[in-house]
């Protein structure tokens, strides 16, 4: 298939481009480079040994998107492009609603107009809110605590309504849990701007000595050791989940959790990182972070049943690959991180 990958120069998108190319698909990558570097396109080509077509463009711009669809035969779209910083979304809700919702609507419109029947959307486990774990696809969604999460819940509803009116259109809503790790080459990975918000990049930067100490947000949750429990998934497993979703996509709306089904606490992750990489990660316990829930992990059985996909890489591999990427990135100074 000829696959349009929006946000394909970003963290999950770049790994998915590699997985698509390795599975024999062609990719057209579009990205406005607002949260990534152009070099990641070369890195994708280098890993997969295939030339990648890339356009720097904003997918909220309907006219440019129309030209793209007119000039290329597209069999399917994987829509990663979006803003994802939870805290920033609280401060700048309009930026998030416009970017994340308009992009989805513009792309869906182009698909309908040009007869593209496969649309894979990057959703998030955040749409479950504080439901009972493990989260199942059939659960009623609960309000999220921030505009970012709401853009995911709203995008899901918009796409579902579009399918109701256009029953031949196929949409896969992929609810990711906590993506971590990097490609084993160390060429692509997560390079957050500024001080990381997420646990794994923060741990890696503490290990590297860029940050002094990890702050663990609360140890009084009703979990195995009091710290927050999450379902960390290796980004390469996640990327392979997208190929499976695209290959199996039929008309209608299909919802899948992409997680491992395993919960890991913050303390367990720190220990795994220290053991996998033989390095110390100093930490202190501080207050809970507002908006956090105690536990979030998937029932991942539907994706296994219907797509034949399961996550294969364990927490040790996730920690090892995250560390390898952090070291390589710091050594080559290609990081956009400014601390």
- Which one of 3, 4, 10, 253 is in contact with ligand NAD (CB under 6 A)? 10
- Which one of 84, 234, 254, 313 is in contact with ligand WQD (CB under 6 A)? 84
Distance separating alpha carbons of residues 140 and 251, to the nearest angstrom: 23
Helix (H, G, I), strand (E, B) or coil at 286: strand
Tell the smallest beta-carbon distance from residue 148 to ligand NAD (Å).
Answer: 7
Strands (E), 74-223: 76-79, 118-124, 170-176, 178-180, 214-217
Residue nearest to ligand NAD (CB): 10
11 binds, among ligand NAD, ligand WQD, none (CB under 5 to 8 A by kind): ligand NAD
Tell the smallest beta-carbon distance from residue 195 to ligand NAD (Å).
Answer: 16
User: Residue 166 carries which DSSP code?
Assistant: -
- Which one of 25, 41, 82, 233 is in contact with ligand NAD (CB under 6 A)? 82
Tell the smallest beta-carbon distance from residue 116 to ligand NAD (Å).
Answer: 18
Position 228 contacts ligand WQD (CB under 6 A): yes
Position 124 contacts ligand NAD (CB under 6 A): yes
Strands (E), the chain: 2-6, 26-31, 53-56, 76-79, 118-124, 170-176, 178-180, 214-217, 229-230, 232-234, 252-258, 264-265, 283-286, 295-296
CB atoms closer than 10 angstroms to residue 296:
23
- Asked if 260 and 180 count as a contact pair (C-beta separation under 8 A), the reply is no
What dihedral do alpha carbons 237, 297, 190, 339 form, nearest 10°?
-160
Stretch of 102-110, 198-206, 306-314, 315-323 lying at the interface with ligand WQD (CB under 6 A): 198-206
201 binds, among ligand NAD, ligand WQD, none (CB under 5 to 8 A by kind): none
- Asked if 223 and 229 count as a contact pair (C-beta separation under 8 A), the reply is yes
Residue nearest to ligand WQD (CB): 228
Distance separating alpha carbons of residues 233 and 176, to the nearest angstrom: 8
Whether the ω angle into residue 13 lies within 30 degrees of 0, i.e. cis, is: no
Distance separating alpha carbons of residues 294 and 228, to the nearest angstrom: 5
According to CB under 6 A, which residues from 292 to 311 bind ligand WQD?
Answer: 292, 296
Q: Is the dihedral of CA 222, 227, 228, 233 positive or negative?
A: negative
Residue whose CB is less far from ligand NAD, 258 or 278: 258
Active-site annotation holder among 128, 148, 176, 202 = 148
Structure tokens at 288: 């809970």
Helix (H, G, I), strand (E, B) or coil at 48: helix
- Please indicate whether residue 256 is annotated as part of the active site: no
Position 298 contacts ligand NAD (CB under 6 A): no
Q: Is the dihedral of CA 239, 54, 123, 325 positive or negative?
A: positive
Tell the smallest beta-carbon distance from residue 317 to ligand WQD (Å).
Answer: 18
- Asked if 238 and 175 count as a contact pair (C-beta separation under 8 A), the reply is no
Tell the smallest beta-carbon distance from residue 102 to ligand WQD (Å).
Answer: 18
Q: What x-and-dash track marks residues 33-62 binding ligand NAD by CB under 6 A?
A: xxxx---------------------xxx--
13 binds, among ligand NAD, ligand WQD, none (CB under 5 to 8 A by kind): ligand NAD
- Site residues, ligand WQD (CB under 6 A): 84, 86, 124, 126, 149, 178, 197-199, 202, 214-217, 228, 230, 266, 289, 292, 296
Catalytic residue ranges: 148
- Site residues, ligand NAD (CB under 6 A): 6-7, 9-13, 31-36, 58-60, 80-84, 99, 103, 122, 124, 176, 179
């Amino acid at each position: 298939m000829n696959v349009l990958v929006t946000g394909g120069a970003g963290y999950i998108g770049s790994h998915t481009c590699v997985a698509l190319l390795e599975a024999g698909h062609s990719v057209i990558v579009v990205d406005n480079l607002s949260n990534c570097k152009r070099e990641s396109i070369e890195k994708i080509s280098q890993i997969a040994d295939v030339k990648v077509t890339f356009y720097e463009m904003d997918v909220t711009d309907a006219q440019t998107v129309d030209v793209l669809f007119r000039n290329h035969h597209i069999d399917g779209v994987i829509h990663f492009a979006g803003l994802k910083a939870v805290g920033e979304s609280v401060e700048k809700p309009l930026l998030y609603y416009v970017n994340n919702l308009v992009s989805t609507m513009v792309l869906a419109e182009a698909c309908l107009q040009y007869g593209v029947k496969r649309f894979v959307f990057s959703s998030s486990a955040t749409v479950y809110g504080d439901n009972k774990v493990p989260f199942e696809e059939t659960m009623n969604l609960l309000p999220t605590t921030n505009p970012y999460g709401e853009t995911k819940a709203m995008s899901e509803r918009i796409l579902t309504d579009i399918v109701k009116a256009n029953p031949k259109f196929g949409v896969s809503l992929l609810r990711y849990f906590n993506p971590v790790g990097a490609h084993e080459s160390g060429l692509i990975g997560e390079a957050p701007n500024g001080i990381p918000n997420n646990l794994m990049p923060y741990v890696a930067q503490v290990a590297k000595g860029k940050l002094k100490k990890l702050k663990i947000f609360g140890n009084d949750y009703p979990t195995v050791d009091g710290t927050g429990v999450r379902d960390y998934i290796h980004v390469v497993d996640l990327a392979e989940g997208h190929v499976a979703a695209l290959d199996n996509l039929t008309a209608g709306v299909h919802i899948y959790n992409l997680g491992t089904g395993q919960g890991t606490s913050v303390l367990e992750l720190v220990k795994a990182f220290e053991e996998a990489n033989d390095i110390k990660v100093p930490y202190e316990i501080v207050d809970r972070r507002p908006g956090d829930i105690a536990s979030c992990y998937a029932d991942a059985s539907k994706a296994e049943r219907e797509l034949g996909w399961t996550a294969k890489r364990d927490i040790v591999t996730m920690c090892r690959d995250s560390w390898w990427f952090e070291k390589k990135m710091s050594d080559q100074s290609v990081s956009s991180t400014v601390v």
